[in-house]
Structure 1
Amino acid sequence: MNSISVLTYNLHKGMSPLGGSVRLSQMAAALQQLDADVLCLQEVQGRHQRRQLRHDGWPQHDYLATALARQACYGMNARYDHGHHGNAVLARFPLAMAANHDLSVNRLEQRGLLHTVVQPPGWPQPLACLCGHFNLLAHDRRRQYRVLLDYLAQHVPPDMPLILAGDFNDWRSEADRHLLAEGGLQEAHASVHGRHARSFPSGLPLLPLDRIYIRGLHVAEVTVCRGAPWSALSDHLPVLARLQLAS
């Protein structure tokens, strides 16, 4: 296997853009068409007391893993009386490990970083896949970047190829400066197209919130999935990249 495809997508808890209806089965069908090797998903709902009585699909990471024939791991971040949600990684390859690291910096936004390791067939070494969801306020995100960079320095060997994908909530593109300078991470879409993928809101994408950062990898191609059916599913659009090991 010379390359792998990686997708990042905020599921919006499996709901339509305005939250009026469940769209999880339609999301599964659309994701099946893309057939990504690794999926980094945010706002994945592990439990919702009322919705799961009326609809199939909970826990959402298990539902999608079955629909897409992938292995799955889930990191619970936000807890509430009737349920919880967090990040999930789904992979075509065996997941060698999964660890959830708390990125919360205040009581209002419960955020996390899900760290997994996969072994693509034929690759000489494993691949670290990290899925994150970051805060809405810039000063909170700066604190989270510090936590993130410290975590990478401690838990990911510098010679291991790495993917960091997720919802960065970073419309000012501040993350690049922090992640490149100290972590050596480059953003996939910006490295190819000169700017980040505009992925939010899905019906009229203006803000570049969803990213795939890489280290030790080369971007063969990268795109944001626009139009039907994606504009009627979540409030975010997926970003899909094909990546190769750097020579």
Structure 2
Amino acid sequence: MPRVFRSTTHAPSTLFTSQVLRVATYNIHKGVRGIGPRKRLEIHNLGLGVEALDADIICLQEVRLFHAREAKHFDRTWFGWPEEGQADFLAPEGYASAYRTNAVTRHGEHGNALLSRWPLGEVGHHDVSDHRFEQRGLLHVPVRWQGTEVHVVVAHFGLIHASRVRQVQRLQEFLQREVPPGAPLLVAGDFNDWSERLGGPMEALGLTRAVAPAGRPNQRVTFPSLVPVFALDRVYMRGFRCLSTQVPRGSAWARMSDHLPLIVELELS
């Protein structure tokens, strides 16, 4: 039976007692699609989409904190540019949000975010940029789920394979320093692994890719959103079993970002 989230004055953890952890990862493309006169603001539609995911934990990439030029451009539109950062704007009612900047540009900045209906611990960030043309980072947030502390890392890796390999090495160093050995762990995000070559390096870290035992390949491909071919968006796990994977599809999802969201359902192993 699908879970229904209702507004409440109580902590989110008082509502959900399922032993299944529902996790989503989604590259939102900074809430904007198109170029030139066809550029359009999608952040308001993304707010509806994020809520519809009905996930306990939502890992987001390419999230704007602010952008002066885009805000000015879209001030003339019907809904306008949100006053708060996109992480706070997208968080459904009752969810906590965490955000850290990866890239600072001329007009603004963007990074990774985590939204959770469960309480958050101390938020951390680690720069894994491999060269000056791509600013990349890891967002680390412990989440208190059903009395268990689950460490969640939101990642956005580089466009070059050699960079991604080095970023896996930096991820390893970060995990050894910041995450207790054996603690339940999720590393989710956009890995840009077009050639499917990160499996071995990630397994060497003790991380298994979340793939449902009976899942079909089309339940994992997320890019490009109009006709998905590549499984760039993933969840790697330690201390969990994957029960199911799902990729929402349709014209509305294809419109909002160049990626589709990936949803996985997990249980502790």
Do they superpose with TM above 0.5? Answer: yes
**Aligned counterpart for 2:211 among listed residues 189, 209, 212:** 189
**Aligned counterpart for 1:120 among listed residues 129, 134, 145:** 145
Q: Which residue of 2 aligns with 1:21?
A: 40
> What percent of counterpart residues are identical?
38
Residues 215 and 244 in structure 2, CA contact (< 8 A), matched pair in contact too: no
TM-score (norm 2): 0.85
Which of 186-195 and 104-113 deviates more?
186-195
* Count of aligned pairs between the two proteins: 242
Please give the secondary structure, in 1, of the residue aligned with 2:44.
Answer: helix
Partner Cα separation in structure 2 for residue 77 and residue 36 of structure 1? 24
Partner Cα separation in structure 2 for residue 192 and residue 24 of structure 1? 34
Partner Cα separation in structure 1 for residue 187 and residue 81 of structure 2? 30
Residues 15 and 22 in structure 1, CA contact (< 8 A), matched pair in contact too: yes
Please give the secondary structure, in 1, of the residue aligned with 2:138.
Answer: strand
Q: Which residue of 2 aligns with 1:63?
A: 89
TM-score (norm 1): 0.93
Q: Which residue of 2 aligns with 1:101?
A: 126
Report the CA distance between 1:17 and its aligned residue.
6.0
Please give the secondary structure, in 1, of the residue aligned with 2:45.
Answer: helix
Report the CA distance between 1:191 and its aligned residue.
5.5
Partner Cα separation in structure 2 for residue 68 and residue 218 of structure 1? 29
Partner Cα separation in structure 2 for residue 88 and residue 189 of structure 1? 23
Please give the secondary structure, in 1, of the residue aligned with 2:181.
Answer: coil
Map 1:163-202 onto structure 2 (within 5 A): 163-180=186-203, 182-189=204-211, 193=215, 195=217, 197-202=220-225
Q: Which residue of 2 aligns with 1:36?
A: 55
Partner Cα separation in structure 2 for residue 224 and residue 189 of structure 1? 12
Residues 17 and 233 in structure 1, CA contact (< 8 A), matched pair in contact too: no
Q: Which residue of 1 aligns with 2:11?
A: none
Partner Cα separation in structure 1 for residue 213 and residue 170 of structure 2? 24
Partner Cα separation in structure 2 for residue 228 and residue 189 of structure 1? 25
Map 1:1-247 onto structure 2 (within 5 A): 1=17, 2-16=19-33, 20-53=39-72, 54=75, 55-57=80-82, 58-65=84-91, 67-121=92-146, 123=147, 125-180=148-203, 182-189=204-211, 193=215, 195=217, 197-246=220-269
Partner Cα separation in structure 2 for residue 187 and residue 227 of structure 1? 25
Partner Cα separation in structure 1 for residue 93 and residue 199 of structure 2? 32
Partner Cα separation in structure 1 for residue 264 and residue 229 of structure 2? 20
Tell me: CA distance 1:190–1:222, structure 2 relative to 1, closer, same or farther (3 Å).
Answer: closer
Q: Which runs of 5+ in 2 are unaligned?
A: 1-16
Tell me: CA distance 1:194–1:89, structure 2 relative to 1, closer, same or farther (3 Å).
Answer: same
Report the CA distance between 1:68 and its aligned residue.
4.2
Report which of the two structures shows the higher radius of gyration computed on alpha carbons: 2
CA deviation map 1:80-131 (0-9, x unaligned): 121000000111011111101001010000000000001112x3x3000110
Partner Cα separation in structure 2 for residue 192 and residue 51 of structure 1? 43
Please give the secondary structure, in 2, of the residue aligned with 1:74.
Answer: strand
Which of 109-118 and 167-176 deviates more?
167-176
Partner Cα separation in structure 2 for residue 161 and residue 40 of structure 1? 16
Report the CA distance between 1:221 and its aligned residue.
1.2
Report the CA distance between 1:184 and its aligned residue.
1.2
Q: Which amino acid aligns with 2:156?
A: H
Provide the alpha-carbon RMSD of the alignment: 1.7
Report the CA distance between 1:229 and its aligned residue.
1.8
Q: Which amino acid aligns with 1:117?
A: P
